Amino acid sequence: MKYISTRGKIEPIGFKDAVMMGLATDGGLILPESIPQIGRETLAAWAKLPYRELAFNVISLFATDIPKEDLKALIDRSYATFEHQETTPVVKKDGVYILELFHGPTFAFKDVALQLLGNLFEYLLKERGEKMNILGATSGDTGSAAIAGVRGKDNINIFILHPHLKTSPIQALQMTTVLDDNVHNVAVKGTFDDCQDIVKQLFNDLEFKKEYSLGAVNSINWARVLAQVVYYFYAWGRLPEQESVVFSVPTGNFGDIFAGYVAKRMGLPVEKLLLATNENNILTRFVAKGDYSLGEVVQTVSPSMDIQLASNLERYLYYLFNENPARVREAFAELQKSGKIVFSEAEVKRVQEEFLTCSVDEQMTLETIASFNKETGYLLDPHTAVGVRGALECAKGHPRVICLATAHPAKFGDAVEKAIGTPPPLPPALAALAGKESRCEIMEADREKVKRFVQGNA
């Protein structure tokens, strides 16, 4: 399996090089040259597999340059850290299925990908005799999951940027209380988009990227998307009837829902992907009206979705534009110049054939947490509540709707307490964060300052 860039200016590379490159050197995102097609017999067999075996079957199609026994060991080690024997169990509540993705070490769906990516990095760096400085931006969950994936690992430093005072308190503590020598947290005075923009700029500084061996853990890294593809197949296999389904995905950066799109292209019978946003609804406007124009970021009770510039959308646009990298380059040049991308009527129609969409504001989010808890006894975090509300409104009546539960409700205790009147019970690992020593650098949203910080600590 070879990999290319959405912008078409790199030579095809193998999976191992794709993992290590992160962002393509032409500024694009990395994708496989072709997506494997899965027939009905294979799908039926996959539906019966335990999670780790399924992960091996899916990932081995894409990671063809890693020996199978090594890949199996990496996968087994990555998911041994999950507290639930099914890794990502599915439960049915109030007519919808909920795919619980929060049983990893940091209680968020990012663990599914970042436990694997951390082990992949360690494996590849040892193989190559190299060192890496990971640079990433987070709106909340990616940072703690990435840190948990690489803390204390040989040959790796990690630098995580998060928007100062714009994550939940527990999210911040999960990052800043990790005091391993190879972990560095930066709180940027700005938004997640500011953090993400600084990271992209530094990756596009090719001389700096090469000198400091920058590696990516954000969902710009293909391995992250690939790891997430697995749980779409797994969830489908847990249903009583293996027929077409709707997946409702709370979405900010388009990475998680793009993994579902890849699963669909592989042959998973997905009727629709329901893209659910909060007030930062640029992606809802894109699906509903073809309006992809940047606005101001609004701070909400679902902070991991407080994003305007959805970096993973570029991967989907590559397919929307019929795998034409020149059109992708043109679109993102237009975005940089005017703050928007213009789509043809035919392109908008095609998007609407593949996606449903729903925007859920803060009041609706809190109401959903409260009503769902009252009716079922099940507690949703605010991001999952956005997806569940979207499912109940936009996919009402469909017999097989799977909502992705992206975080444990205790990670967003203030929002949950606001909704139901009492704080959610804290798992022991989260309760233990209170009062711990923390370490974090607070700085302006300034690329050069961040660059100097990396240089001084690499």
d(CA 93, CA 236): 16
The reply to whether 426 falls in a domain is no
User: How many alpha carbons lie under 13 Å from residue 2 in its C-beta half-sphere?
Assistant: 7
pLDDT of residue 242: 85
Would residue 364 count as lying in a domain? yes
Q: Please check the confidence at residue 256 and state whether its pLDDT lies above 90.
A: yes
Q: Is residue 396 in some structural domain? A: yes
Report the CATH number that the domain containing residue 390 is assigned in CATH.
Answer: 3.40.50.1100
Q: Please indicate, yes or no, if residue 440 is contained in any of the structural domains.
A: no
Residue 211's pLDDT is: 95
Average pLDDT, the chain: 95
pLDDT exceeds cutoff 90 at 443: yes
pLDDT tier at 22, thresholds 50, 70, 90: confident
What mean pLDDT comes out for the span 444-450? 96
Report how far residue 203's alpha carbon sits from residue 182's, in angstroms, rounded to the nearest whole number: 20
Model confidence over 315-336: pLDDT tens digits? 999 999 999 999 999 999 999 9
> Above 80 in pLDDT, residue 218?
no
Position 140 pLDDT exceeds 80: no
pLDDT band at 193 (very low <50, low <70, confident <90, very high): confident
Residue 89's alpha-carbon distances to 82, 326, 390, in angstroms, are: 11, 41, 21
Spatial separation of the C-alpha atoms in residues 98 and 404, rounded to whole Å: 6
Residue 363 lies in a domain: yes
Provide the whole-model pTM.
0.93
Q: What number is the average pLDDT over the span 235-247?
A: 94
**pLDDT tens-digit series, residues 345-358:** 999 999 999 999 99
Q: Which residues of 265-286 are buried (b: 16+ CB within 10 A; e: fewer)?
A: bbbbebbbbbbbbbbbbbbbbb
Nearest to 311 by CA among 249, 248, 218: 218
Q: Which domain holds residue 384?
A: 90-107+222-420
Instruction: Kindly name the residue from 110, 153, 209, 264 that is annotated as catalytic.
Output: 110
350-to-286, 321, 322, 355 alpha-carbon distances in Å? 12, 10, 11, 9
The residue among 455, 445, 456 whose CA lies nearest residue 197 is 445
pLDDT average, residue stretch 34-59: 97
Number of domains in the chain: 1
pLDDT band at 208 (very low <50, low <70, confident <90, very high): very high
pLDDT at position 83: 95
In a domain, 442, yes or no: no
pLDDT at 139: 81
Share of the chain above pLDDT 90, in %: 87
How confident is the model over 52-99, as pLDDT tens digits? 999 999 999 999 999 999 999 999 999 999 999 999 999 999 889 999
- Contact present, 424 and 379 (Cβ < 8 Å): yes
Q: Which two tokens stand for residue 377?
A: 């006894």
Q: What is the pLDDT of residue 216?
A: 82
User: Is residue 178 in a domain?
Assistant: no
Residue 72 bears catalytic tag: no
Q: Is residue 59 part of a domain?
A: no
